[in-house]
Structure 1
Amino acid sequence: MNKNYFSICFISFFFLFLFMLLNFFFMMYFVMNNMVLFLEWEIISFNSLSVVMSILLDWMSLLFMMFVCLISSVVIYYSKSYMSSELNLSRFIILVLLFIISMILLIISPNMISILLGWDGLGLVSYCLVIYYQNLKSYNAGMLTVLSNRIGDVMILMIISWMMNFGSWNYIFYLEFMKNDYCMIYISIMIILAAMTKSAQIPFSSWLPAAMAAPTPVSALVHSSTLVTAGVYLLIRFNLLLSDTLFFKFLLLISGLTMFMAGVSANYEFDLKKIIALSTLSQLGLMMSILSMGLPLLAFFHLLTHAMFKALLFMCAGVIIHMMNDIQDIRFMGGISLYIPMTCLCMNISNMALCGIPFLAGFYSKDLILEMVSFSSFNFLIFFLYYISTGLTMFYTIRLTMYLMVNDYNLLSIYNLYDEDYIMVKSMLVLLFMSVISGSMLMWLIFYYPYMIYLPFNLKLMVIYVSLMGMFMGFMISNMNIYSLNKYLVTYNMSTFLCVMWFMPNLSTYGLNYYFLNYGQKLLKNIDFGWSEMYSGWGMFNIMKNYSIFYSVYQMNNFKIYLFSFIMWIMIYLFMLLI
């Protein structure tokens, strides 16, 4: 590898890690002293117009920044090895750094203008990273990603125009006392729609698995702490404004369905990265739904714990794809725990944290969320969606583990699997440590007092029941072909519906452009190439061409033609005289 590339990776890693430590100490100081720091710089002031740059630093923004910097520093260190064959590694690192800066700008902004800068920066840089491997699939995925996110950007722009009524774009000032104003009701609806696009809730879900066309280190960053969590973070900040609104109840249903849909689709998927992407979609649905119930701290808690093990899961997937000669289909894998034990250790622990196995990071947030759901007064549909989705998480995790580690190796008879890429392994071990301890650490930091939830015995053990059932189903399904099972359970059309995310990719692509393109083709055929063409361009050209042929005959200077035309004119003249 070129020394310049090595130094860029190392400097980026070092400064991000240093910034993470700085954030950690500041966050501890702010928590202990219950501080909030609000900074404003006046950039320009002219008559009554003042343009200000404002920054909000409290324990929440500092803690989130700490997690973003930790994960991104580890990802950059990891990509030093993963992207070592890349000729333009410096360009890749600069794009990743731009991505991180956009996210940090979004986190510390109490102002809608600077939120738009971070929000749009995330959308633009994510497009550049998704199309990084320049092929047709990447271009399609990038276009789907950027256009889906564009809806959210438009919503933020509309919020900025609506908030001009209030004299300032600092939303933090208006959250409580302007809550019942009709303008704020419109703003809250737009905020929810913007968050739904960025966090890929139904009907905007199809871009999230498509964005897997990006390099794996980018996927680890996007799916853990940056792009997809931006919508959730925005709703956490706006939670005072949104609680008890009708649209929030609608979001609860939508996010519950997203969680369920992603869990079902992950069980039909064979692409390793797409399974993990659908798992992210399921967890985003969980965060959004618990947020819709009016529990923002709990959603924030799960957002941070999820960031750790999801980044680790993608890193492990990247190592496995490298070892497998860039093959992502899990049907070709199997028995890899014998050859790459460290990677499989990290993958198993991150998978267990995802399932909520006790005393790992995911357990503290997931168990608390499900107990709060059991404790709440929502109807059976919400209860059903939560618990079935939890069972489905265990279902696809066990299925993935069986395909990767337990079943027989299926790729080639001559293969070379090794676990000696120490740069990748070291970066994974950092996140492995955090995946184990971050749940209990955050439990002490975020909540002022311990939650003690009393429930009936069966309801308390309901999480264990559905997890065991999901584990059993995952074990059974991985030993048989899921499509042959479907022939007995449901029809072919139904299985296709479940397999392709409820036809959402088709609805987002062909569903939106097919009829417009078809109508355009008919217009082209009947108007541009039809009567319009006859009476405009082509018709005029034809007439002029025929006339020019006729006149070119005259210009041949043939005496017979002149004599013939003279006789013709005499005959016409006589005919006119007779009339």
Structure 2
Amino acid sequence: MCSLSFFSLFLSSTFVLLLGVYYLILDYSVFIEWELFSLNGCMLVMTFIFDWMSLIFMSFVLYISSLVIYYSEDYMSGELNMNRFIMIVLMFILSMGLLIISPNLISILLGWDGLGLVSYCLVIYYQNVKSYSAGMLTALSNRIGDVAILISIAWMLNFGGWNYIYYYGFISNSLEMKIITMLIILASMTKSAQIPFSSWLPAAMAAPTPVSALVHSSTLVTAGVYLLIRFSPMLNVYNFGWFLLLIGCMTMFMAGLGANFEFDLKKIIALSTLSQLGLMMSILSMGYLKLAFFHLLAHALFKALLFMCAGSMIHNLKDSQDIRFMGSIVNFMPLTSVCFNVSSLSLCGMPFLAGFYSKDLILEMVCLSWINCFIFLLYFISTGLTASYSFRLFYYSMLGDNNFYSSFSFDDSSHFISFGMLSLLFVAVFGGSFLSWLIFPIPYMIVLPYYLKFLTILVVVLGSYLGYCISSVKFSYNLFSLSILSFVSFTGSMWFMPFLSTNLISYMPLSIGYYSSKSFDYGWGELFGGQGLYSLFIYMINFIQSWYDSNYKIYLLTFILWMLILVMLFFL
């Protein structure tokens, strides 16, 4: 089933990419409507839009999905229910595809809820307490966004339809559209894990690594950014950009800082994804939607490769994810090491790799834009932190001492894993330049002062040196992580967001719901409702039955006697 899924998805990806490039060149789009039924003037319509943006994004999702499924053939080889795993992944791809091609809020909800449900099934795939906790946190955090989309669907009843692209003309003088935009921003923040909903993304690393390569590169976490790209005209009109800009920059800074104090390999890459999502959100809020989309696609390529390399390392290290037990992997797994370092350099913005074309352009546009010093500093400090945790990861895994257990024996012999990594290596090197020529046929001419032009390279070099200093220190009690323990615990735990999410967002509503249902539904509601009526009827039936069981004449004579006594007393 893996091979069949791989070939069908790969061929579909190629066809959809060619169609997307054709539509992009012609500036052409196809809009398909299918009316299901009409109710009181509101038509429930299934709608699809095929333009260059949806088709190119869909082709990238299909391409990465096909390689992830092929990669899973070896990575999940010990899985007894392999077909079930492939079916769940295919359902996930279907949900994402439905979300991408839908300009209609109801069909978007189908894909959106499908992503949430299937991601929960994938996070709890390895059935243990940690996976169950992570799955519940993921599901409850994403439910907030689902409810926001449901409320926005209810608000759009005022317009008589749910195709939001029809109503851009009513934006400037419509309170409903303002409320809908606020709800869509909330939904996008939950799905793309922006502050304060960030804690579910590293927790979702409990899923199998091939799933992480798919989910955290091009599907689940990018759904919120993609939805906001579609709703971007509303952001510009209602001036919600400043809020998203602040949230995106804070998320980017928080994730970059936290990754420098993390030792779990998959969580470091998850925090790196979170940092890049903050970058996409912030640049989108400044009005550069094509640039945000460009970085979304470029990031999908090198992040999927990074996860695949991490999965290869974890698979060979007998499921050990702690980077402190790695070292000198380059001597044993040269192919994986090359792919891993290329994707890390692409993440840092190394010239002429996929990440460079989008990231360098974004930072130059930030230098050119009207933003304050705080946002400017956050952008460049976060870029330096990206280089810092990437170099720290490189030092711990590739260089340094051999810290494995003596029983480990590993190499690059797996054909399936190597093919998946090499296929993504090619696009991680050449994909950025290909996309930049496609999306920006007329290149940006950005003229900056000398010191601003070289600020990006300077920040990356300083960040790499900081990463080297953090990782190469020998153990002593004068270490920064031991001397200022409160700061390290604060930054390393994502600013205590997991505690807030589990206790405030998840635990408190659940406990309030439990006590309210215990008091009302199972308490007073039962007393005055079903159980109370049941008890009353039983009592009445028993009382009447007692009349029948006893001598009825005695009761009747007694009743007549009492009536006579009352009448006599009344007349006397």
For Structure 1 versus Structure 2, the TM-score category normalised by the shorter chain is 0.7 to 0.9
Per-residue CA deviations over 1:479-509 (Å, capped at 9, x if unaligned) read 1269956548963212210110000000001
TM-score normalized with structure 2 length: 0.88
Match of 2:551 in 1: none
Per-residue CA deviations over 1:103-137 (Å, capped at 9, x if unaligned) read 00000001000000000000000000000000000
Match of 1:549 in 2: none
1:64-213 mapped onto 2 (5 Å cutoff): 64-213=57-206
Per-residue CA deviations over 1:403-448 (Å, capped at 9, x if unaligned) read 0010111122343111100110011101000000110000011124
Match of 1:253 among 246, 254, 272: 246
C-alpha displacement of 1:524: 13
Change (3 A) 1:140 1:114: same
C-alpha displacement of 1:248: 2.1
Q: Distance in 1 between matches of 2:212 and 2:479?
A: 31
Q: Distance in 2 between matches of 1:508 and 1:350?
A: 31
Q: Distance in 1 between matches of 2:509 and 2:151?
A: 26
2:212 is equivalent to residue 219 of structure 1: yes
Per-residue CA deviations over 1:338-359 (Å, capped at 9, x if unaligned) read 0010000100000000000000
Decide whether the 8 Å contact of 2:172 with 2:237 is kept in 1.
no
Partner of 1:359, secondary structure, is: coil
Match of 2:232 among 228, 239, 256: 239
Match of 2:287 in 1: 294
Match of 1:321 in 2: 314
Decide whether the 8 Å contact of 2:43 with 2:161 is kept in 1.
no
1:325-340 mapped onto 2 (5 Å cutoff): 325-340=318-333
Amino acid paired to 1:462? L
Percent of matched pairs sharing the same residue? 61
Partner of 2:240, secondary structure, is: helix
TM-score normalized with structure 1 length: 0.87
Decide whether the 8 Å contact of 1:175 with 1:238 is kept in 2.
no
Partner of 1:43, secondary structure, is: strand
Per-residue CA deviations over 1:204-234 (Å, capped at 9, x if unaligned) read 0000000000000000000110000000000
C-alpha displacement of 1:138: 0.2
Decide whether the 8 Å contact of 1:176 with 1:241 is kept in 2.
no
Decide whether the 8 Å contact of 2:305 with 2:340 is kept in 1.
yes
Decide whether the 8 Å contact of 1:486 with 1:492 is kept in 2.
no
Higher alpha-carbon deviation: 276-285 or 47-56 = 47-56
Per-residue CA deviations over 1:170-228 (Å, capped at 9, x if unaligned) read 01111244343111111111111100000000000000000000000000000110000
2:446 is equivalent to residue 478 of structure 1: no
Amino acid paired to 1:59? W
Match of 1:396 among 386, 389, 402: 389
Partner of 2:370, secondary structure, is: coil
Match of 1:386 among 371, 376, 379: 379
2:55 is equivalent to residue 27 of structure 1: no
Amino acid paired to 2:55? L
Change (3 A) 1:365 1:408: same
Match of 2:450 in 1: 457
Question: How many pairs align?
Answer: 521
Change (3 A) 1:432 1:177: same
Match of 2:530 in 1: none
Q: Distance in 1 between matches of 2:133 and 2:290?
A: 37
Match of 1:496 among 486, 489, 501: 489
Higher alpha-carbon deviation: 503-512 or 89-98 = 503-512
Per-residue CA deviations over 1:373-406 (Å, capped at 9, x if unaligned) read 0000100011001000000000000000000010
Partner of 1:509, secondary structure, is: helix
Q: Distance in 2 between matches of 1:259 and 1:470?
A: 15
C-alpha displacement of 1:514: 5.8
Match of 1:341 among 329, 334, 339: 334
1:310-459 mapped onto 2 (5 Å cutoff): 310-459=303-452
Q: Distance in 1 between matches of 2:465 and 2:510?
A: 47
Partner of 1:406, secondary structure, is: coil
Q: Distance in 2 between matches of 1:280 and 1:197?
A: 15
Decide whether the 8 Å contact of 1:130 with 1:142 is kept in 2.
yes
Amino acid paired to 1:267? N
Q: Distance in 1 between matches of 2:512 and 2:154?
A: 34
Match of 2:255 among 234, 257, 262: 262
C-alpha displacement of 1:518: 8.2
Per-residue CA deviations over 1:53-88 (Å, capped at 9, x if unaligned) read 111000000000010000000000000111011000
Per-residue CA deviations over 1:523-572 (Å, capped at 9, x if unaligned) read 9999xxxxxxxxxxxxxxxxxxxxxxxxxxxxxxxxxxxxxxxxxxxxxx
Structural RMSD (CA): 2.2
Q: Distance in 2 between matches of 1:483 and 1:443?
A: 48
Per-residue CA deviations over 1:26-49 (Å, capped at 9, x if unaligned) read 112212221110011223357845
Partner of 1:174, secondary structure, is: helix
Amino acid paired to 2:16? N
Change (3 A) 1:525 1:87: closer
Higher alpha-carbon deviation: 48-57 or 460-469 = 48-57
C-alpha displacement of 1:477: 1.1
Task: Mark the runs of 5 or more structure 1 residues left unpaired by the alignment.
Answer: 1-7, 527-579
Q: Distance in 2 between matches of 1:521 and 1:223?
A: 33
Q: Distance in 1 between matches of 2:363 and 2:461?
A: 16
Partner of 1:168, secondary structure, is: coil
Match of 2:560 in 1: none
Decide whether the 8 Å contact of 2:104 with 2:164 is kept in 1.
yes
Q: Distance in 2 between matches of 1:9 and 1:488?
A: 45
2:72 is equivalent to residue 54 of structure 1: no
Q: Distance in 2 between matches of 1:187 and 1:327?
A: 45
Decide whether the 8 Å contact of 2:138 with 2:200 is kept in 1.
yes
Change (3 A) 1:288 1:483: farther
Decide whether the 8 Å contact of 1:188 with 1:242 is kept in 2.
yes
Amino acid paired to 1:212? M
Decide whether the 8 Å contact of 2:360 with 2:456 is kept in 1.
yes
Match of 2:5 in 1: 12
Higher alpha-carbon deviation: 347-356 or 411-420 = 411-420
Q: Distance in 1 between matches of 2:396 and 2:132?
A: 30
Change (3 A) 1:258 1:327: same
